[in-house]
Amino acid sequence: MTIFTKIINGEIPCNKVLENDDFLAFHDINPKAPIHILIIPKVEVENFQQVTPEIMSGMTTFIQEVAKLLGLDKNGYRLITNNGSDGGQEVMHLHFHLLGGAKLNWNHLSDSDSKNYI
Ligand code: AMP
């Protein structure tokens, strides 16, 4: 069981933004942008590589609702999912990072020179 399952079960508190029967959105504890939300399915899915189109269908609508609720639909936002160890995934429960509230720098997200890795 990951820490996110404990959050879903209410065993660990979170700063909730939006919830429905299938998904939960809450503030990241270590924000990397003025607004940094984590969006997760309530079912245990390890990461994007494991998720079904059916779950992603509901997830897409839910993410759009969260973005609108926070006013991020107007000026834009960044959506990231880290997949596996090379992707930098630390919590093995599928989550999307919704980042916004400022014009985001692209380069600072990568600590390696892409030219060395393609
Ligand atoms: P990732 O590296 O993509 O697996 O991201 C995991 C994210 O979960 C990180 O941005 C952490 O700051 C965040 N995180 C870990 N524990 C908590 C928590 N208890 N509440 C909110 N965010 C958390």
Residues 56-79 pLDDT 10s: 999 999 999 999 999 999 999 999
User: Distance between the two ends of the chain, CA-based, in angstroms?
Assistant: 35
- Confidence (pLDDT) at 106: 85
d(CA 20, CA 105): 32
pTM score of the predicted model: 0.93
- Cα(75) to ligand 1 centroid in Å equals 25
> In the annotation, is 95 catalytic?
yes
With a 6 Å cutoff on the Cβ, whether 89 touches ligand 1 is yes
Query: Which residue has a Cα nearest atom 13 of ligand 1?
Result: 28
How is the chain split into domains, by residue range? Answer: 3-117
* CATH architecture type of domain 3-117: 2-Layer Sandwich (3.30)
Token digits of residue 79:
């959506």
Q: Distance from the CA of 112 to the center of ligand 1, in angstroms? A: 21
Residue nearest to ligand 1 atom 12, measured at CA? 30
Compute the average pLDDT of residues 13-39.
98
- Calculate how far, in angstroms, residue 89's C-alpha sits from the geometric centre of ligand 1: 9
